[in-house]
Chains A and B, each alone.
Chain A
Amino acid sequence: MKAARLSATLLLSPLLSFAACLSPKGTDLDSTRLRAADLCVSQKPFGIHSRACEHPKSCPLLQAASGVTATARGAVGNPGYRLCRELGGEAHLFRLRLDGRWENHTVCVGQDGGFVDLDRLYRAHAGPTPNR
């Protein structure tokens, strides 16, 4: 039943990307705030998010982002940071070792503790993107 439901979800939801949640063992994470157990990594497109934010409907941050339009934009620097703050979240940069390479990633942490990477947050917001 569970497998059938999962298959149906995959068939019906073209936007759903394959997510593999990292296990605490064997994952190198350099963060003052996140635990490896909370991290989920998705491919195609690449993204990092909390377990709760795997699906937009269960993620308040993504729900809020979809209501933000381009008129709220206009900033220097990484455009994702301002969006994150406008949504009441806090940007958090951390280092993660994936496939043997250390990488910097920034997530937006919502007030409920759920988080998504800035790129995914940006894609979720409505309208064209800002500059700089």
Chain B
Amino acid sequence: MPISLVASLIFFASAQASSVRCNRLDAQIRDIREISQTYDVATDVRLFREDLEACGLPLEKFITEAELTSLLAKGQRAELARRWEEIGASNKAHKRRDLETIEDFARKNSLATPEFEKRLALERRAFEDRVVAETARLETEIKDSCKGPDLADKLPPVRDQDSIGWCYAFVAADLLSFHQGEEVSAFDAALSYNAQKYENDLRWSAGVPAARSTDEGGYIGVAAREALEKGYCLEKDLPSFINNGSDLKTAVTAIDFLAADRDLARNTTLVCDIHGQLKSLFPNVSVDEFKDIIAKTGRQQVLQTLANRSCRRKKPRPFEQREIYYPNVNFDLRTELQKSLAEKRPVGISVNLKGILNKQEDAHHAMLVTGQEINPATGECDFIVRNSWGNVCAPFNLSRVRCDKGILRIPAKTMAEITSSTSELVP
């Protein structure tokens, strides 16, 4: 396209636009007269004056200078009145900002009269008083809701999971112990959990080594549900700790190893020796029964079989296992925990301890919430949380949590940071 034609087109378009602009000046003045009844018209007046100059037309053709100035002042007063009205209706979240905005507007437009300053001060004081009152009300509400007995009084002493990753089973056992009113074996809870794992594992049915009794890590709710289906053992019949200088993990691994090797399993002296060392784990299993089970039971079933021989399984009272995952748009963790505690139910929690240990590393763990209390130092509501590390407190960051003999006191805010799910048994 020739340059001259392009230039002509541009000139023509510009001329058209200019013509439209100049033809709208009457309409602009009409708009300014109307809008000034409610809003500040400073911008509209500025644009009008720019258009007027661009069109080369005199102001007096449309409006007098005096009237335009009067409309400007009218608009500012109307704007101020409208903003005061909006402040009256605005919610707490915006009020502070709205007061700052109106002060800004008034000072910029020389509208900050003594009456204005007086009203601003009154509004500010009223707002701050409301904030103080509401904060006090919320604090009272928190204090009033943060009470109740510590349900741990109905539980056996704080347990020790030793060095095996069966925290979920210890929590499930505690939940069942509370529900049943007697001490349930955590060792059994872990064995039942692992048994269901390899029952559901296709690799096992294909003969491929799959999940094992010694597997670590699991879910509280699943462990509790297994007890509902298979029954549970009491701690006195299947203790969850071994006191021969060894540890639980070494003990179960030794049995697993023995069961895996048929030649070793036939070595009577070795089997008797191991029975002697592990007698405290299966107090009701005689050496002959032990030898028999080791010799004749498949590797995947040997620990479960020993457990079944050691205890008479009991069926728990019916319950519904309830689980909530966080964060959650429908549930607030603090509210839900308080509700459960008020209904006399302890709550299992899955957590990442990273935020409350001295060492900053991911540490997925399970614990049990048994109560709540006001922290006398902070005035905040702390949840009472039962760990399964005996009375060990040293690993915890004591500037974030309180700890005494293995029982933690964790602020509600911190609980929300570290908790990913809750699990409870509802009768």
Interface string of A74-105 (1 = CB under 8 A from B): 01111111100100001111110000011111
Q: Is there an interface contact between A79 and B160, defined as CB atoms closer than 8 Å?
A: no
Provide the main secondary structure of the chain A interface: mixed
Residues on A with beta carbons closer than 8 Å to the beta carbon of B193: none
Asked if A17 is at the interface of the complex by the 8 Å CB criterion, the answer is no
Asked if B99 is at the interface of the complex by the 8 Å CB criterion, the answer is no
Asked if A70 is at the interface of the complex by the 8 Å CB criterion, the answer is yes
Kindly identify which residue among A32, A90, A93, A109 contacts B160, using a CB–CB cutoff of 8 Å: A93
Number of inter-chain CB pairs below 8 Å: 117
Instruction: With a 10 A CB-CB cut-off, give which of A45, A80, A117 has the most chain B CB atoms.
Output: A80
- In the complex, residue of chain B having the shortest beta-carbon distance to the beta carbon of A77: B163
Residues on B with beta carbons closer than 8 Å to the beta carbon of A101: 157
Asked if B164 is at the interface of the complex by the 8 Å CB criterion, the answer is yes
Residues on A with beta carbons closer than 8 Å to the beta carbon of B394: 80, 119-120, 122-123, 129
Asked if A118 is at the interface of the complex by the 8 Å CB criterion, the answer is yes
Kindly identify which residue among B243, B247, B362 contacts A131, using a CB–CB cutoff of 8 Å: B362
Residues on A with beta carbons closer than 8 Å to the beta carbon of B365: 132
Chain A 32-57 interface residues, beta-carbon cutoff 8 Å to B: 32-33, 45-46
Q: Is there an interface contact between B392 and A132, defined as CB atoms closer than 8 Å?
A: no
Residues on A with beta carbons closer than 8 Å to the beta carbon of B247: 81, 85, 91
CA–CA, A28 and B254, complex, Å: 33
Q: Is there an interface contact between A122 and B392, defined as CB atoms closer than 8 Å?
A: yes
Q: Is there an interface contact between B243 and A78, defined as CB atoms closer than 8 Å?
A: no
Q: Is there an interface contact between B216 and A76, defined as CB atoms closer than 8 Å?
A: yes
Provide the main secondary structure of the chain B interface: loop
A: interface residue count bin? 35 or more
Residues on A with beta carbons closer than 8 Å to the beta carbon of B393: 45, 119
Known: A102-B157, A104-B158. A76 touches B390 (CB 8 A): no
A-B contact pairs, 21 of them (CB 8 A): A75-B163, A77-B167, A77-B389, A78-B160, A79-B392, A90-B245, A91-B247, A92-B243, A93-B241, A101-B157, A103-B157, A103-B391, A104-B159, A104-B391, A118-B389, A118-B391, A119-B391, A129-B357, A129-B395, A131-B395, A132-B165
Q: Chain A: residues with CB nearer than 8 A to chain B?
A: 31-33, 45-46, 70, 73, 75-82, 85, 90-95, 101-106, 109, 117-120, 122-123, 128-132
